Amino acid sequence: MNLEDDGNFAALAKISAITTKDELSLTHTIGEVDLKDKKNVMCAEDLYSFAVEHDLYDPDGGEEFNFLKAYGVYPKRGKDSVAGLPGPYYNLRRWWRGIKLLVPSYDGDPEALVHPTFIKPDHKLSPKDFIRVMRDHYQGTEYDHYGVEQGLYKYELRGLRMNERRQYQLAPIWGKERLPGTSANTTWVAQLRKWMPDEVGGLLWGGYAGAHSCAHIPWYTGITKTPPAYNIDTIKPFKEMFVRPNSSYNEKSAYWAFINIFNLVNLFYQKTIGEVQPVWEEWEKNLFKLQPVVEQVALELYDKDRDLAIEFLTSYSNAKGREALEMAKGMLGKILTIIAHHNTPWF
């Protein structure tokens, strides 16, 4: 759910108002808003007047009030001010691609500046559908620069594509497009089922690096603890908005085990991605198969003894967390071996 969907309009409005359109590019999805529809619309009381007062909307301009245009720093053709890359700008193409992956029948223009806020999917969605979005780099489209630019790397050495300067092709995230699967520090998918008790129905599929190179671990909201490696805080507090916090390496930290794989894959993608992404996809596939059984047991226990059900789910989530971490450590060793064998071009 986008931030603007839960009523936090005031905060977003002030962010938009205090920054110029050359400094910040915020793309919201909500467009026209019927402020008189109190049943379906929740927003700050001064949403409209604030926009008028700060010249974000001209009531005499002949257009209906549009939240995206007023507060979303409606994008213009040209260079995106945040990423410094050619448009369309930062999140817009990702917006289109996310819809297209979840709703294949969607025929929206990838060059469009606006896409639907809400759209009915072609089929019932599951967490794996959203994980797939976060692993996407526009495969099969003209915006997949990794695929398009493979022609530039016409030399091959020990299975590595290289260009005339003996440089091998980097990972998709180094391309010109901002991908649906960005170089995010963590990736999460929330699965919320109101027909179950909260302790069972709430589930976070947690990834501790970019989705294409990490596992998504099932953490139930009812669990009472996580393995020690997942409790190590290596991040310093934010000093200012939109600036990533600093994090220091800690060999005991689960986060660093996964992020190390992520960093190495993105530097040596050709030879390592095949040892990483398919492994995690197969691991997650088995988790999805196991999930109905785990939850059936948890629900049966819950009816008899809530605490016992919570203990069961805690044991399950912790076991999978430890399993993923051990797999990551083995995977990291394999990646380092691959790099040692291939990172010394000698022709």
Q: For residues 253-269, give the mean pLDDT.
A: 93
Q: Which two tokens stand for residue 62?
A: 């002949």
Amino acid sitting at position 136? D
One-character DSSP codes across 143-170: T-HHHHGGGG--EEETTEEE-TTSPBP-
Q: CA 253 to CA 187: how far, in whole Å? A: 17
The mean pLDDT of the chain is 82
Alpha carbon 21 to its chain's center: 25
User: For residue 93, what are the CA distances in angstroms to 89, 100, 121, 147, 281?
Assistant: 8, 10, 18, 17, 25
Instruction: Give 20's Cβ-side CA count (13 Å radius).
Output: 3
> Between 2 and 230, where is the model more confident?
230
Instruction: pLDDT band for 117, please (50, 70, 90 cuts).
Output: confident
Instruction: Give 154's Cβ-side CA count (13 Å radius).
Output: 3
Q: For residues 24-48, give the mean pLDDT.
A: 77
Q: Give the residue among 272, 283, 281, 257 at the shortest CA–CA distance from 335.
A: 272
Confidence (pLDDT) at 8: 36
Q: Which residues contact 33 (CB under 8 A, 6 or more apart)?
A: 41, 43, 47, 65, 66, 67
Q: For residues 296-322, give the mean pLDDT.
A: 98
User: Residue 292 pLDDT more than 90?
Assistant: yes
User: Residue 46 pLDDT more than 70?
Assistant: yes
Confidence (pLDDT) at 77: 43
Full-model pTM: 0.79
Beta pairing partners, 162:
155, 168
Q: Which two tokens stand for residue 46?
A: 């001064």
Q: CA 253 to CA 235: how far, in whole Å? A: 11
Q: Give the residue among 4, 180, 13 at the shortest CA–CA distance from 92.
A: 180
Q: CA 234 to CA 232: how far, in whole Å? A: 6
User: Residue 81 pLDDT more than 70?
Assistant: no
Q: Which two tokens stand for residue 60?
A: 């005499």
147-176 pLDDT tens trace = 777 777 777 776 677 777 777 778 888 877
- Domain borders along the chain are 1-74, 183-342
Strands 155-157 and 160-162, by their bridges, are: antiparallel
Confidence (pLDDT) at 227: 97
Within 10 angstroms of residue 185's Cβ, the number of other Cβ atoms is 17
Query: Cα torsion at 111, 112, 116, 120 (round to 10°)?
Result: -40
Instruction: pLDDT band for 49, please (50, 70, 90 cuts).
Output: very high
| CB-based burial, 205-219: b 16+ in 10 Å, e otherwise | bbbbbbbbbbbbbbb
Chain position carrying tokens 């005031």? 10
Q: Which two tokens stand for residue 111?
A: 């060059």
8-33 pLDDT tens trace = 333 333 333 333 333 334 456 777 87
User: For residue 181, what are the CA distances in angstroms to 75, 115, 133, 216?
Assistant: 21, 19, 7, 14
